[in-house]
């Protein structure tokens, strides 16, 4: 104490200054972590993690690959500062004895400060990209591999160990955040997916139909809807049992999906009914699609049933309607296509019904 009772100024040792810097870094990391865990959108979470890691290490490039255990494959989901050629290789298997396998086994950040001075066999693509320093951090949650976070530089680096510690802490936040985002995505998928067929469900159809119709109105493009019902399905179930009926529904779901474009949307509408939305598709094109579905079901359903049932096959009745010719609202279009489908059933089944340019009901 000073004679007046004040504090005596003393020089801080170097380790105290280092501690202050580390506390400052941890505070910054806390702010970063709050950003990382602030979203449940997987894409946004991964971008937040990647850019935070690059900022901590002051590296100009990086990427995140997530692990798909069923195929033992890493799939690129986020990247920054890398060439199109480099990121075009967006998936790779984890091979026994390979560098990626070694990084995962090591379980800690894998560091290369100067590629030219390492005895590790580097990926030729990384060398061609000009990467000269890198850090690969395995993302592990509850002993399970979630993925790998990479940060890269195009010049050799002498890495700050305190920053590496911060990166490891960030990785811990990252794995929890990725797991939460994946769980949230899975929950959304379960809420919008039919459990038997794997198709989108009725609830998701109503949501998507409204959005697609708004888009068609805004851009003055056509939109067609195809509604189909399996003929005599109740009788089929009564005769051959519900397990056989379930097989038919699953196989039809797969067949319809195969016959549609990537931009088309197919749903299990309810029971034995399926519905497809065909964006930017007019009536003539939609009728071709519906005709292919009808004939393919008639032709291929005996193959579905060959091993499980004495039934010789099933057929479907289909209604097709288009915006704007058949209606301008979701309610009108649904009513129109539903009426057309039931007319097809009443006319003998295994038919496609639509309204022609004169408003007459026509059958294919």
pLDDT at residue 1 tops 60:
no
Q: What percent of the chain has pLDDT over 90?
A: 55
CA–CA dist 185, 39 (Å, integer): 12
Q: Which residues contact 190 (CB under 8 A, 6 or more apart)?
A: none
229 and 355 in a single domain? The answer is yes
Cβ count near 180 (within 10 Å) = 16
259 HSE (CA, 13 A, CB side): 24
State the DSSP string of 158-190. ---HHHHHHHHHHHHHHHHHHHHHHHHHHHHHH
Q: What is the pLDDT of residues 243-252, one digit of tens each?
A: 889 999 999 9
Residue 132 has what pLDDT?
Answer: 96
Given 190, 217, 247, the domain boundary residue is: 190
Judge whether 275 lies within some domain. yes
pLDDT-derived band at 6 (thresholds 50, 70, 90) equals very low
CA–CA dist 199, 255 (Å, integer): 12
H helices of 37-160, where? 42-57, 84-88, 99-106, 124-129
Residue 38 has what pLDDT?
Answer: 60
Range of the domain at 160: 14-190
Question: Which sign does the torsion angle of CA 297, 300, 301, 302 carry?
Answer: positive
Residue 297 has what pLDDT?
Answer: 95
> What is the number of structural domains in the chain?
2
What are phi and psi for residue 148, nearest 5 degrees?
Answer: -135, 135
353 contacts 361 by C-beta, under 8 angstroms: yes
Strands of the sheet with 273-279, listed across from one edge: 265-270, 273-279, 223-230, 316-323, 352-355, 361-363
Name the average pLDDT for the chain. 86
119 and 231 in a single domain? The answer is no
State the DSSP string of 211-236. HHHHHHHHHT--EEEEEEEETTHHHH
Judge whether 285 lies within some domain. yes
pLDDT-derived band at 175 (thresholds 50, 70, 90) equals confident
What is the arithmetic mean of pLDDT over 289-298? 96
175 and 209 in a single domain? The answer is no
Residue 186 has what pLDDT?
Answer: 78
What is the arithmetic mean of pLDDT over 82-107? 88
Judge whether 6 lies within some domain. no
pLDDT higher at 159 or 4: 159
181 and 229 in a single domain? The answer is no
Residue 8 has what pLDDT?
Answer: 40
Tokens, residue 180: 């939460």
Residue 185 has what pLDDT?
Answer: 76
Judge whether 301 lies within some domain. yes
Dihedral, 39, 43, 46, 52 alpha carbons, nearest 10: -70
297 and 351 in a single domain? The answer is yes
First CA to last CA across the chain, in angstroms? 102
Residue 261 has what pLDDT?
Answer: 92
226 and 167 in a single domain? The answer is no
160 contacts 73 by C-beta, under 8 angstroms: no
pLDDT at residue 203 tops 70:
yes
344 contacts 351 by C-beta, under 8 angstroms: yes
135 and 279 in a single domain? The answer is no
CA–CA dist 257, 275 (Å, integer): 11
Residue 311 has what pLDDT?
Answer: 75
pLDDT-derived band at 210 (thresholds 50, 70, 90) equals very high
**Short-list 209, 229, 233, 224, CA closest to 260:** 224
Strands of the sheet with 110-112, listed across from one edge: 91-93, 73-80, 61-68, 144-153, 133-141, 110-112
308 and 182 in a single domain? The answer is no
pLDDT-derived band at 18 (thresholds 50, 70, 90) equals low
354 and 281 in a single domain? The answer is yes
168 and 209 in a single domain? The answer is no
CA–CA dist 151, 163 (Å, integer): 13
Helix, strand, coil shares of the chain as percentages rounded to 5?
50, 20, 30
What is the arithmetic mean of pLDDT over 166-172? 85
Q: In whole angstroms, how far apart are CA 205 and each of 71, 193, 223? A: 31, 10, 14
Judge whether 110 lies within some domain. yes
Asked if residue 324 has a cis previous peptide bond (ω within 30° of 0), the answer is yes
Rg of the chain over all Cα atoms, to the nearest angstrom = 30
pLDDT-derived band at 35 (thresholds 50, 70, 90) equals low
pLDDT at residue 241 tops 70:
yes
CATH number of the domain bearing residue 268: 3.30.70.270
Residue 355 has what pLDDT?
Answer: 87
Judge whether 5 lies within some domain. no
**Short-list 42, 350, 322, 338, CA closest to 180:** 42
CATH number of the domain bearing residue 155: 3.30.450.40
pLDDT at residue 45 tops 60:
yes
What is the arithmetic mean of pLDDT over 279-293? 96
Q: What is the pLDDT of residues 302-354, one digit of tens each?
A: 888 887 777 788 999 999 999 999 999 999 999 999 999 999 999 999 999 99
168 and 276 in a single domain? The answer is no
The secondary element (H helix, E strand) that includes residue 65 is strand 61-68
Residue 280 has what pLDDT?
Answer: 95
Residue 3 has what pLDDT?
Answer: 43
Strands 223-230 and 273-279: antiparallel
Residue 34 has what pLDDT?
Answer: 62
Judge whether 8 lies within some domain. no
Residue 5 has what pLDDT?
Answer: 43
Does the pTM surpass 0.75? The reply is no
Residue 23 has what pLDDT?
Answer: 58
Judge whether 132 lies within some domain. yes
The secondary element (H helix, E strand) that includes residue 254 is helix 242-259
Given 190, 223, 250, the domain boundary residue is: 190
Q: What is the pLDDT of residues 52-74, one digit of tens each?
A: 899 889 999 999 999 998 888 99
35 and 124 in a single domain? The answer is yes
What is the arithmetic mean of pLDDT over 28-46? 68
pLDDT higher at 309 or 211: 211
Given 161, 190, 219, the domain boundary residue is: 190
What is the arithmetic mean of pLDDT over 181-186? 79
CA–CA dist 65, 52 (Å, integer): 16
Q: What is the pLDDT of residues 129-145, one digit of tens each?
A: 999 999 999 998 888 88
Number of H helices, E strands in the chain: 11, 12
């Amino acid at each position: 104490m000073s004679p007046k009772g004040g504090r005596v100024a003393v020089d801080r040792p170097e380790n105290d200054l280092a501690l202050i810097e580390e506390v400052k870094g941890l505070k910054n990391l806390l702010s970063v972590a709050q950003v990382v865990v602030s979203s449940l959108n997987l894409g946004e979470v991964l971008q937040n993690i990647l850019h935070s890691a690059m900022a901590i290490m002051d590296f100009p490039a990086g990427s995140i690959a997530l692990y798909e255990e069923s195929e033992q494959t890493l799939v690129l989901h986020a990247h920054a500062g890398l060439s199109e050629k480099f990121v075009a290789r967006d998936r790779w298997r984890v091979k026994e004895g390979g560098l990626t396998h070694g990084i995962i086994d090591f379980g800690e950040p894998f560091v290369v400060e100067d590629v030219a001075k390492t005895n590790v066999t580097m990926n030729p693509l990384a060398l061609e990209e000009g990467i000269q320093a890198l850090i690969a951090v395995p993302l592990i949650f509850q002993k399970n591999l979630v993925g790998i976070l990479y940060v890269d530089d195009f010049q050799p680096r002498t890495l700050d160990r305190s920053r590496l510690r911060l990166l490891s802490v960030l990785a811990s936040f990252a794995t929890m955040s990725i797991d939460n985002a994946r769980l949230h995505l899975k929950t959304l998928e379960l809420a919008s997916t039919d459990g038997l067929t794997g198709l989108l469900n009725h609830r998701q159809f109503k949501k998507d139909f409204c959005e697609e119709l708004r888009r068609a109105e805004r851009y003055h493009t056509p939109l067609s809807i195809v509604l189909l019902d399996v003929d005599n399905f109740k009788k089929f179930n009564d005769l051959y049992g519900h397990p056989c009926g379930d097989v038919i529904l699953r196989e039809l779901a797969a067949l319809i999906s195969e016959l549609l474009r990537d931009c088309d949307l197919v749903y299990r509408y309810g029971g034995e009914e399926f519905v497809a939305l065909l964006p930017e598709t007019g009536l003539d094109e939609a009728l071709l699609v519906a005709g292919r579905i009808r004939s393919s079901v008639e032709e291929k359903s005996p193959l579905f049933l060959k091993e499980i049932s004495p039934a010789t096959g099933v057929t479907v009745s289909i209604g097709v309607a288009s915006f704007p010719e058949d209606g301008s609202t979701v309610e009108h279009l649904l009513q129109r296509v539903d009426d057309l489908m039931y007319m097809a059933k009443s006319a003998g089944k295994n038919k496609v019904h639509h309204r022609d340019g004169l408003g007459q009901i026509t059958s294919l």
